[in-house]
Chain A
Amino acid sequence: MKELILIAVGSAIVNNVVLSQFLGICPFLGVSKKVNTAAGMGGAVIFVITISSFITGLIYKYILNNPFLISKGIDLTYLKTIVFILVIASLVQFVEMFLKKSMPSLYDSLCVYLPLITTNCAVLGVALNCVTYDYNILEGVVYGFATAAGFFIAIVLMAGIREKIEYNDIPRTFQGTAIVLVTACLMSIAFMGFSGMI
């Protein structure tokens, strides 16, 4: 239990996925203009990463890294990048279809953000990190959920700040992306303050 809490706090706050690992920068900069849309995006990312870390964990443990196959001399672990990206791509499509049929209300709130989060490097990054850190499936799911929660925190905070920045007088050259990056820099410094926690 203590292990799990350490993983969760560590990946959500201390090693924040956006601000210290630089995964998922694209949606962080592109979809953070409004708090509403940012929260929607964050919610969709939490949903997808939690499910995908579970599924990729299962596939890695029972198919790619299967002790039976390895004892027969077939080591499939080198296929992990290819398998994970395809699994994530098809999983997102599948989740979308499933939600549309069985949970229309959840689908309505997430649908615009769901179609293929494949290109979001955070999803693939989490799946690969689970293998690198040698997490079991439960640890992997907790790690995935906490990482995505860290993404949610970062993108919602960023959207809140950007809504305020709209009213500020910014030097002309820094308008647009540049001031967003300066903001991200300051947020990143703030998040470094957590680094002594674990």
Chain B
Amino acid sequence: MNKNVERLYNGIIKENPTFVLMLGMCPTLAVTSSAINGLGMGLSTTVVLICSNLLISLFRKVIPDKVRMPAYIVIVASLVTVVEFLMKAYLQSLSNALGVYIPLIVVNCIILGRAESYASKNPPIPSIFDGIGMGLGFTCGLTIIGLIREILGAGTIFDQPVLVNIGFTPITIFIMAPGAFLVLAFLVAGMNIVRKKMENRGTPLAKPSGCISGDCANCGMSASCTGKAVAVEEPKADVTAEKPQN
């Protein structure tokens, strides 16, 4: 398979950031109260991801290893600022709906994770396709979760009334905060079944990386994260906790 097509497939299906890798959980939970918000957030993240992958890949030989994290952060933060102002100018209503989560794309672990694990090691063209693949995978994930929540919680699809006409009473809690957790919980449970099946077939899915799994070793952010130190410390805490019982 062509390497660029392979990157797209990898991002959208094989290592889908929402369903398989479980990255970027904050926006996944926060902005999916409707499909259109999920789509908007996903696409703005995609734009930032493509540009940041391109720039970081271009500068990968110039940026000294010691200061690479701050350098990546500056690049990503500048791009996010640009996207934020573009949205304020041209997509006013979406910008209001997403609010503080647009500038918070800076700390989305997908972006720094891809920068660290792919763009900093590969030439620009594959990096762009990696960004497109991962971004579209994230967009799909957010849109699907948004659709589920919108159908159940408001009875609409992309703001078009669908279920309301046939006498369905919307379960409002699904578009409120608890609904986000519940939908994600069932999604994770569903993925557990899929994971099990794929393992039995001999083609295991990629493991969740990111904080949700507690697997800090494979996380792109591991160079700059608090959780890591805690996870390493965990066995030690076990020993001290068990001591009094002995």
Point out the residues of chain B lying under 8 angstroms from A79, CB to CB: 81
A124 and B211 in contact (CB under 8 A), knowing A26-B109, A81-B80, A181-B181?
no
Whether A82 contacts B77 by the Cβ 8 Å rule is: yes
Point out the residues of chain A lying under 8 angstroms from B229, CB to CB: 112-113, 115
Asked whether any CB of chain A lies closer than 8 Å to the CB of B49, the reply is no
Asked whether any CB of chain B lies closer than 8 Å to the CB of A177, the reply is yes
Whether B30 contacts A22 by the Cβ 8 Å rule is: yes
Point out the residues of chain B lying under 8 angstroms from A20, CB to CB: 177
Task: Report Cα–Cα, A129/B225, bound state, in Å.
Answer: 22
Which of B98-106, B119-127, B139-147, B150-158 lies at the interface? Answer: B98-106
Task: Report Cα–Cα, A197/B124, bound state, in Å.
Answer: 53
Select from chain B the residue with minimum beta-carbon distance to A111: B229
Task: Report Cα–Cα, A46/B18, bound state, in Å.
Answer: 29
Select from chain B the residue with minimum beta-carbon distance to A180: B185
Whether B237 contacts A34 by the Cβ 8 Å rule is: yes
Whether A85 contacts B73 by the Cβ 8 Å rule is: yes
Asked whether any CB of chain A lies closer than 8 Å to the CB of B189, the reply is yes
- For A170-198 the 0/1 string (1 means CB < 8 A from B) is 00111111110110111011001000000
Whether A22 contacts B177 by the Cβ 8 Å rule is: yes
Whether B213 contacts A177 by the Cβ 8 Å rule is: yes
Which of A36-44, A61-69, A138-146 lies at the interface? Answer: A36-44
A86 and B226 in contact (CB under 8 A), knowing A19-B177, A173-B193, A178-B185?
no
Whether B237 contacts A132 by the Cβ 8 Å rule is: no
Interface residues of A in 5-39 (CB under 8 A from B): 19-27, 29-31, 33-34, 36-37
Interface residues of B in 212-227 (CB under 8 A from A): 212-214, 221, 224-227
- For A69-85 the 0/1 string (1 means CB < 8 A from B) is 00000000011011001
Point out the residues of chain B lying under 8 angstroms from A81, CB to CB: 77, 80-81, 84, 103, 106
Listed from nearest, the 6 A-B pairs whose CB atoms lie closest are: A26-B211, A181-B185, A185-B181, A22-B30, A30-B211, A188-B178
